[in-house]
Amino acid sequence: MAKGPFKAVLHCFTGGMALARRGIELGLYVSFSGVITFKNSEDLRDVARAMPLDRVLVETDAPYLAPVPMRGKRNEPAYVAHTAKVLAEVKGVTPDEIAAATTENFFRLFAKAQGLLPTALEPVA
């Protein structure tokens, strides 16, 4: 901490506003799982709404915490789209904007992964 903010993630965040804001002040990212889609998670959606777009991530926490409408099933990476959709709604942006923001945030956080995504997504001939 003496050297200033550092990169880290508040993984599978379900804490309160004070913790999230303190994490942001410290330079951390806040990652939301399927819990943000649950009916009784309005407080968590309030936290997500207040977080800067350049500090949010989405995650599966698979095999647990499948988002609505997959709740009760074994979670898998494909379901993160449901979590991202709710985060986009909460933030007042489109799903494409949340996808772009969270992808940029991932590569800023995990700089060593730079250059890996385009190769992995190249079309198969």
User: Which residue pairs, CB below 8 angstroms and at least 24 apart, start in 103-112?
Assistant: 104/54, 105/29, 105/54, 105/55, 105/56, 105/57, 106/57, 108/7, 108/54, 109/7, 109/9, 109/29, 109/57
pTM of the model: 0.87
Spans in the chain with pLDDT lower than 50: 120-125
pLDDT in tens, 28-57: 999 999 999 999 999 999 999 999 999 999
In this structure, whether the domain defined by 9-120 belongs to CATH 3.20.20.140 is answered with yes
Calpha distance 74→51 (Å, rounded): 28
pLDDT of residue 15: 98
